[in-house]
A and B are shown apart, each in its own frame.
Chain A
Amino acid sequence: MSNKKLSAVEHIKTASKGLRGTLEQSLGDEITGAVREADHALIKFHGMYEQDDRDQRQERAEKKLDKLYSFMVRLRIPGGSMTAEQWIAANHIAGDYSTGVIKITTRQTIQLHGILKHQIKPTLKDFDKVKLDSIAACGDVNRNVACASFPAQLPVHEQVKAYADKISKMLLPKTRAYYELWLDEEKIDEYNETDPLYEDRYLPRKFKIGIAIPPNNDVDVLTNDLGLIAIIENGELKGFNIAVGGGLSTTYGNPDTYARLATVIGFTDTEEKTLKAVYEVLTVQRDFGNRSDRKLARLKYTVDNMGVDAFTAELEKRCGFALQTAQPFEFTERKDETGWHQDYKGNWHYTLFVENGRVTDDETTALKTALLEVAETKKSAFRFTSNQNIMLTDIAPANKELISSILSKYNITTQQENTSALRKNSMACVALPTCPLALAEAQRYLPSFIDKAELLLAKHHLSANDIILRMTGCPNGCARPYAAEIGLTGTATGEYNLYIGGDREGLRLNRLYREKLAEPAILEELDVLFGAYSSKKQEGESFGNFAIREKLVVND
């Protein structure tokens, strides 16, 4: 623990009266579309970020208008599953109050952008009608719990998924502020609310949990603050390996910050013990995390500051039991298998690649309309993957043809088949124009960048290769660029750092290869790299492994 002065956000949290702050007054401030400054931090705990349209900043300043503020609302959907009714509601809410685009995130939830301050309450009330909420989707609390999202090949896969829901519920803040502020629930005396987990300080920083089912690491489990790796033997769940201290965000120019993969510290064999261990990892972080510098406050720094052994000892002390030795596991891939797949019950699932996770109707494909039509049949449920894709799930064999015909009608099937491997294995964060942290474009730019990269791959006969490429507009790592074979992080308008050498399974981070490159230079570098890879790669060798073997970057 640090003796340094608490950061400003810490004071805001403890003074917030159960995350209420002055949010009610903020909603009543007519002169601005923003909330008051302290509420800026608090509204995140309610699942929202205040943003503004950066494209219009200068123009609006000249017009003597304030920034164009709006809010991004992110839902809490543990494991990423939704009913058809919920999808229909989300579709309409997006049309009524936001930009209309439904954005699938890298943590299996959805978010809507462009909601004006006076539209927040109607939005959240409409979501509440279908039992959806945005509680703790952002903020210094446990965020949406991610879980492996392939179709259940075995009953045990459903058993594992149930953990996402249990953990999410266990780690919810106890305050009723959300219900009072947004859903007009009657006020209660906030001082009677006690929260043994979060107390009045909450966590020092955001906290992410992911659950993986080997051999697929689609959730990128080791990039989470806390990762659970299901250990399954002969179709039975034996328990979970527990990994702590993953996290990708870094700050340019601040050498104290770094990306880190989680360290596996042990194994738990019962539900009770697993949940207890999860809970106590949060309390250790609550009590030992850095509360003076938010850039050094994630669990990864707490683990490294304490040392892994001391951290584990503290955890075991709090659990009242020792962790068992971690069990062996193997990951072989991280991608979503697109197309039709059958689960152990015989039901069908269709995994659909969604570029940048943006569900909308564009000039080429009416994806949003198609998905609405699928939902309206009520013959399919919905699920989001950590690769920002969508799964149409639990379709009875008798209904497969119906869903399939809708997909064909809207040309989705063909469009999916014509999408390159590189594009399917790529991701970008939101970045400009709404993200206040963005230094460069990401989601608006990636599609056209891929167009060019595809040509290079074709030139070097690598089009079928499943290279993982990820781009972000800043070093904070939302699209997990450091856990990609090719990572691009924005440094300034039109400039990116190029990282290579990450593995395909998500067990090794990449390394900085070139700094501050504009597009022509990036393409030139990739041309050379792909050329070398194509001619010198060994049988089955991934691009990331090739880069390490050839010592293009140093694996330290």
Chain B
Amino acid sequence: MLAGEKLQQFKAFISNTSREEQVWMNGYLTAVITGQQAATAPQAAKKITIAYGTETGNSKKLATSFAARAKKEGIRTKLVGLDQYPAAALSTEEYFLTVISTHGEGEPPEAAKNFYDHIHKNGFKIPQVKFGVLALGDTAYPLFCKTGEDVDRQLQQLGASRIAPLQKCDTDYEEQAEKWFTEILQKINKESTAEVPAVNSVPVKKAATKQVYKGSILSNINLTGRGSTKKTYHIEIATEAPYLPGDSIAIVPANDLLLVQEIISLTGLAPNREITWRNETVTVEELLSQKAGIVYLLEKTVTQYAALAEAPIPAQRSDLAHLLRNYPLKNETQYETVLQQLTPIAPRIYNIASSPVAHEGAVHITVLQDLFTVNETVQHGLCTAYLEQKKPGDEISFFVQPNKRFRLPDADKDIIMIGPGTGIAPFRSFVAERDATGASGKNWLFFAETDFTTDFYYQAEWQTWFSTDVLTRVSLAFGNSSEEPFEIQHKILQQAASLFEWMENGAYVYLCGEKDPMSKNAEAALLSVIGQEGNMTDEAAKQYFETLKTTGRYMKDVY
């Protein structure tokens, strides 16, 4: 325990450090305590970001080959297109390398426009950033490499320091570019010679079950392209809630406020009237807005209402407002009784799509808009409707639902991930985590959806992982690309030989998504694969599959 001034200094110091630095200090102190301190002062793990702004694809190609090289050398590397890059993230970068071309008459490529404009704004500084700019251009144009020059100059004006001088390249850029990057790698390696505590070894605080966390929405985007038949939202929530890849979060959606107001006025009860509901005392407004389900009531609740109202109400699911409008009750006591009979809003569970290492300080989820029909009108699922309206800055409450039966294996093990539809979410978490921690195991993704052009969730990210060899194989099934039905099970069967080979080599198999019929079809296909490729009887194949389950090499999370 530190006392007095020491504690003050320590707290002041800690408050100025990033989470990553704290993780490092934790490892450093552990090493000091156990007497394993390295001879030289250890430094934090090097993290570089390589961002490309491309018009013809050359910048992307070059940046991708750089990233693959850096990863091979064990450097934590993030590869990102400038069109995908949140410019505000510059303030969190350590090494920031950019490969950028010049378009037309000295203009930045379309894809880099936002980034280019951002760094030309005043009012912020990024002194911690070490940067390098590789500019691609064509000497046939008068303003050769102008965009690269601009970016290089602006980053310096923002207080960042150059790790290497601006490198301008003509159309035959390969050799110069390689040389430039080799020099940068050498510098980075020189700056980080000491061993570092592995990120993995830091114990993650166990999430206390049901601890409610608050987070604020960072972004909420519909992942599907124009013309898609569905809406699937990618929601990022800023939070310090601890979690592991494979976990889910549970969200209790709030009811629609206008509907709540209408119900209150239909009952005539005072909004702040306190009533007892399931062993707690709450106000009418609180109950209706945050605690109790008011749409699509259970059949049982409707029957109870019918008894109270002494009315011939059909025993089927219905909305509270509909009942109140059509079958008014007699007095306040009856209205209060009705409210007391309401059941709690069920929390909705979503697989976490982010990695605590790669997406520090945030939880991402993938939410399919839920549409269903009641009494011939299309209704929105309560929770998806609630989430759909969330805007950046809005608050949201949730708790973490750990899933010990859906965990990544050791870093050197291969994994096969089968996740059609939003079942893809935990696998984005898996691969991002394995990318960020440099896990050496191979990764194979199976995904299925309706339309390749509009419904391939996180396509650009999978492509980046694929081009840097993090993602080893991808097998996709899109319904409308063939006349025959083509679903996940067909793709599994198509890949039988390789799948079985991976299983035989010890791969872990994961399945996530819809329970019925998807998971059943997928499991039946896996069984055929085993039987067919292993020359086994049905019984033997079942036994093989059973062993995968009991040894923890087959894990599923279906709903």
Stretch at the interface among A204-212, A250-258, A412-420, A423-431: A250-258
Size of interface on A: residues with Cβ below 8 Å to B? 33
Q: Using a Cβ cutoff of 8 Å, how many contacts connect chains A and B?
A: 84
Q: Which chain A residue shows the least CB distance to B141?
A: A253
Taking CB atoms, residues of chain B closer than 8 Å to A254 are 140-141
Of residues 82 through 135 on chain B, the ones whose CB sits less than 8 Å from some CB of chain A are 83-84, 104-105, 110-111
Instruction: Digitize A1-25: 1 where CB-to-B-CB distance is under 8 Å, 0 elsewhere.
Output: 0000101100000000000000000
Taking CB atoms, residues of chain B closer than 8 Å to A116 are 452-453
Taking CB atoms, residues of chain B closer than 8 Å to A37 are 57, 61
Q: Indicate whether B462 reaches chain A with its CB closer than 8 angstroms.
A: yes
Say whether B104 contacts A492, CB under 8 Å.
yes
Say whether B84 contacts A64, CB under 8 Å.
yes
Say whether A30 contacts B474, CB under 8 Å.
yes
- Shortest beta-carbon distance from B178 to chain A in Å: 16
A58 to B112, CA, bound (A): 10
A442 to B45, CA, bound (A): 52
A436 to B223, CA, bound (A): 25
Q: Which chain B residue shows the least CB distance to A61?
A: B83
Q: Indicate whether A460 reaches chain B with its CB closer than 8 angstroms.
A: no
Of residues 386 through 434 on chain A, the ones whose CB sits less than 8 Å from some CB of chain B are none
Say whether A295 contacts B225, CB under 8 Å.
no
Say whether A61 contacts B456, CB under 8 Å.
no
Taking CB atoms, residues of chain B closer than 8 Å to A252 are 104-105
Say whether A64 contacts B458, CB under 8 Å.
yes
Taking CB atoms, residues of chain B closer than 8 Å to A57 are 83, 110-111
Say whether A63 contacts B223, CB under 8 Å.
yes
Taking CB atoms, residues of chain B closer than 8 Å to A5 are 172
Q: Indicate whether B450 reaches chain A with its CB closer than 8 angstroms.
A: no
- Shortest beta-carbon distance from A439 to chain B in Å: 6
| In-complex Cβ contact of B225 among A30, A58, A68 (8 A) | A68
A530 to B71, CA, bound (A): 65
Of residues 55 through 104 on chain A, the ones whose CB sits less than 8 Å from some CB of chain B are 56-66, 68
Taking CB atoms, residues of chain B closer than 8 Å to A62 are 83, 221
Taking CB atoms, residues of chain A closer than 8 Å to B184 are none
A33 to B460, CA, bound (A): 12
A229 to B234, CA, bound (A): 62
Taking CB atoms, residues of chain A closer than 8 Å to B224 are 63
Q: Indicate whether B222 reaches chain A with its CB closer than 8 angstroms.
A: yes
A200 to B463, CA, bound (A): 33
> A31-B462, A116-B452, A251-B140 in contact; A63/B221 too (CB < 8 A)?
yes
- Shortest beta-carbon distance from A100 to chain B in Å: 14
Q: Indicate whether B142 reaches chain A with its CB closer than 8 angstroms.
A: yes
Q: Indicate whether B514 reaches chain A with its CB closer than 8 angstroms.
A: no
> A31-B474, A68-B225, A116-B452 in contact; A61/B140 too (CB < 8 A)?
no
Taking CB atoms, residues of chain A closer than 8 Å to B475 are 30
| In-complex Cβ contact of A31 among B104, B140, B476 (8 A) | B476
Taking CB atoms, residues of chain B closer than 8 Å to A118 are 452, 481
| In-complex Cβ contact of B104 among A293, A436, A439 (8 A) | A439
Most interface-central of B141, B171, B221, B462 (chain A CB within 10 A): B171
Say whether B141 contacts A31, CB under 8 Å.
no
- Shortest beta-carbon distance from B234 to chain A in Å: 7
Say whether A61 contacts B460, CB under 8 Å.
yes
Q: Indicate whether B323 reaches chain A with its CB closer than 8 angstroms.
A: no
Q: Indicate whether A32 reaches chain B with its CB closer than 8 angstroms.
A: yes
Say whether B141 contacts A30, CB under 8 Å.
no
15 new A-B contacts, CB < 8 A, other than A64-B460, A65-B223, A116-B452, are A8-B171, A31-B459, A31-B476, A37-B57, A56-B225, A58-B110, A61-B84, A61-B460, A62-B83, A65-B460, A66-B460, A68-B453, A118-B481, A293-B140, A436-B56
Sample of 5 A–B contacts (CB below 8 Å): A31-B466, A61-B460, A64-B223, A252-B105, A295-B140
